[in-house]
Structure 1
Amino acid sequence: MERHEAEIFLALADELHFGRTAEKLRVSQARVSQVLKRLERTIGAPLFDRTSRRVALTPLGRQLHTELAPLHAELTAVLHRAKATARGVDGVLAVGFLGSGAGQLTRDIQRTFRERAPGCEVRLREVQFADPLGPLRAGEVDVLFTRLPVEEPDLTVGPTVVSEPRVLAVPCHHPLAHRDSVSLEDAAGERFFGVTGGAPAYWWDAQVPRRTAGGAVLERGQDVSTFQEMLSMIAACQGVSPVDASMATYYARPDLAYVPLTDVPDSEVALVWRTGGTNARSEAYIGAVRDAVAAHGGPLAL
């Protein structure tokens, strides 16, 4: 049995539908039928019962599937490992992330990357918004999931992985805490936060605007350097801040409330890397991210 015959048989056994099998393997339905007929002639008996309404495995087909599937999976893994070694993708890849990073897409990205580079260890490292790009520039991480915008000539912005609305983080007993929604105009009299460190001014201004859409100035108070520090300050009634909606899930606290914001654009997370500074491992990871986003139908919308 040739490898392409095994792939078509196993895919059809999983899908039990010629059209879905052809789409999954990116071949024509005629190709699936031709290969299956040739395989059945070689074996000498039908592997599927086929009618106009259903496709089902015969007893012999079920036996072949049970014995062939693990062998094919092991062969595929062996080939992936050989290709990974040939491309030089074994080793360690440091992936930086800000906040919740790629969120729920992380699992799909990791699975896709492991299939392509099983000999590469991925090490995740959190970065802080006081200097979100510093670890990438210093080579402490190879690629970075961070909030946009990133407008730096030495950095390349890759695929967007998450797009989500913003919320206003306030103390749980704040007058705005129990509103269904709020605008920055409503919060114009509140104190917001600055940031200390190496974050570009335009980047922090995109996270915490200096003015409302109507032109009201948003007062900046104490500088903060980490997200947890900012949340503690908010809980202590030292200020409020726009944050991404997923923070209500990943950083839920009984002393805080997260109120939907109506007058700010959605926040986006993208993969970023050093321009001209990629290697085989990071290129493979970038490809895995692109394919995971494409398989999802675009950036994760929260």
Structure 2
Amino acid sequence: MDRPELPLAQLHAFVVLAEELHFGHAADRLGIAQPPLSQQIRRLEDKVGHALFSRAPGRVALTPAGHELLPAARRALDELAGGLAAARAVGSGRAGRIRLGFAASLALTILPELLSAYRERFPRVRIEIHEMTTAPQLAALRERRIDVGLLREPPDDEPELGFATVLREPFVAVLPTGHPLAAGRAVELARLAGSPFVLLPREHGPGLYDRITRMCGAAGFTPEVAQHAVEWQTVCALVEAGLGVSLAPASIRRIRLRGVAFRRVTPGGVRTSVAAAWRADDTEPLVTGLLETVLRQGGAPAAGGR
């Protein structure tokens, strides 16, 4: 047997009349005239199959059937109100879930302050963070596995994605403490010619890899890559072990290893850029809110922004 559908307007009218036990007062609360209220109650009673109110001159009271229906009607209305509030919060970007990809080195710079600021602005949004290098982030954005990325050296050939610069930072030379060039405060880049290099694989971050090799090319040499490592922590560990030297974003200096020295590079005009990335067709308020927070924390102007 099919269950009768009870229109919410009729349940609302029923609950208000049950609380007021007066048609005139209930109609005033509902902002309608008494005849439409009486019609709503009659339609509901027809669906239930029993009277919900006993009516006598000057007196309205709930019947046993009305007493039985009242708690369920209140729960239904409360659940609807809660559902509507939750839907509005998600639709406006004040609640829900968002997925953020980030380059590991950003945990040493902008990421902690960004997450703190975002949670303060949007405490009801659950943010999932995924550590990954640039190329995997771009793939994850295209495949809708993350919503926003924080990556180094965004590409120029991704028309379906949007990018906005968050910050720029210089490069440093990463050297074993026993390296002769570690004795000074700065390293002339050309003097690294002939040294074995430890770098991130190009397939994980082609923009950053190419920027480093172009820096070396401008200094008159091509870096001899002896080892690859996906994480900067591992790069530094391999340098400490004497397997080579490296060039890295300056934030890497926060990695503390006893056998590693970080030195300023000269000439020092080249910088690496960090960008926020998102799908260009994504206008969800959750994404907009996160991007606003990212750019505010980075303090850098948008480059090809939304």
Fold match (TM-score > 0.5): yes
User: 1:258 and 1:292, CA in 2 relative to 1: closer, same or farther beyond 3 A?
Assistant: closer
C-alpha distance in 1 between matches for 2:243 and 2:135? 18
Partner of 2:161: 155
Conservation of the 8 A alpha-carbon contact between 2:198 and 2:238 = no
- Local SS of the residue matching 1:177: helix
C-alpha distance in 2 between matches for 1:148 and 1:142? 18
Superposed, 1:287-302 pairs within 5 Å as: 287-293=292-298, 296=299
Unpaired runs of at least 5, structure 1: 1-79
Q: Does 1:218 align with 2:234?
A: no
Q: Does 1:164 align with 2:169?
A: yes
Match of 1:236 among 209, 229, 241: 241
Unpaired runs of at least 5, structure 2: 1-84
Displacement of 1:164: 1.7
**Which string of whole-angstrom CA distances, capped at 9 and with x for unpartnered residues, describes residues 22-46 of structure 1?**
xxxxxxxxxxxxxxxxxxxxxxxxx
Partner of 2:24: none
C-alpha distance in 2 between matches for 1:246 and 1:192? 19
User: 1:96 and 1:200, CA in 2 relative to 1: closer, same or farther beyond 3 A?
Assistant: closer
Q: Does 1:205 align with 2:210?
A: yes
Percentage of identical aligned residues: 26
Conservation of the 8 A alpha-carbon contact between 1:130 and 1:224 = no
Partner of 2:256: 252
Conservation of the 8 A alpha-carbon contact between 1:193 and 1:220 = yes
C-alpha distance in 2 between matches for 1:129 and 1:253? 25
- Local SS of the residue matching 2:267: coil
Conservation of the 8 A alpha-carbon contact between 2:204 and 2:230 = no
Partner of 1:261: 265
Q: Does 1:184 align with 2:189?
A: yes
Q: Does 1:95 align with 2:100?
A: yes
C-alpha distance in 1 between matches for 2:136 and 2:238? 19
- Local SS of the residue matching 1:281: helix
Moved >6 Å (runs of 4+) = 80-83
User: 1:233 and 1:285, CA in 2 relative to 1: closer, same or farther beyond 3 A?
Assistant: same
Return the letter of the residue paired with 2:258: P
**Which string of whole-angstrom CA distances, capped at 9 and with x for unpartnered residues, describes residues 98-133 of structure 1?**
133275544554455345433211122221367453
User: 1:88 and 1:131, CA in 2 relative to 1: closer, same or farther beyond 3 A?
Assistant: closer
C-alpha distance in 2 between matches for 1:180 and 1:238? 22
TM-score by length of 2: 0.60
Conservation of the 8 A alpha-carbon contact between 1:166 and 1:242 = yes
Q: Does 1:281 align with 2:286?
A: yes
Q: Does 1:271 align with 2:276?
A: yes
Displacement of 1:149: 3.8
Return the letter of the residue paired with 1:98: A
Partner of 2:131: 126
Bigger radius of gyration: 2
Q: Give the stretch that moved more between structures: 163-172 or 263-272.
A: 263-272
Conservation of the 8 A alpha-carbon contact between 1:197 and 1:225 = no
C-alpha distance in 2 between matches for 1:187 and 1:181? 12
User: 1:254 and 1:200, CA in 2 relative to 1: closer, same or farther beyond 3 A?
Assistant: closer
C-alpha distance in 2 between matches for 1:297 and 1:194? 27
Superposed, 1:3-82 pairs within 5 Å as: none
Conservation of the 8 A alpha-carbon contact between 2:198 and 2:239 = no
Displacement of 1:260: 0.6
**Which string of whole-angstrom CA distances, capped at 9 and with x for unpartnered residues, describes residues 37-91 of structure 1?**
xxxxxxxxxxxxxxxxxxxxxxxxxxxxxxxxxxxxxxxxxxx999744425521
Displacement of 1:200: 5.4
Partner of 1:31: none
Conservation of the 8 A alpha-carbon contact between 1:91 and 1:120 = yes
User: 1:84 and 1:105, CA in 2 relative to 1: closer, same or farther beyond 3 A?
Assistant: farther
- Local SS of the residue matching 1:290: helix
User: 1:284 and 1:266, CA in 2 relative to 1: closer, same or farther beyond 3 A?
Assistant: same
User: 1:86 and 1:292, CA in 2 relative to 1: closer, same or farther beyond 3 A?
Assistant: same
C-alpha distance in 1 between matches for 2:139 and 2:122? 27
Return the letter of the residue paired with 1:183: E
C-alpha distance in 2 between matches for 1:225 and 1:100? 11
Count of residues paired in the alignment: 216
C-alpha distance in 2 between matches for 1:97 and 1:174? 32
Conservation of the 8 A alpha-carbon contact between 1:143 and 1:271 = yes
Return the letter of the residue paired with 1:260: R
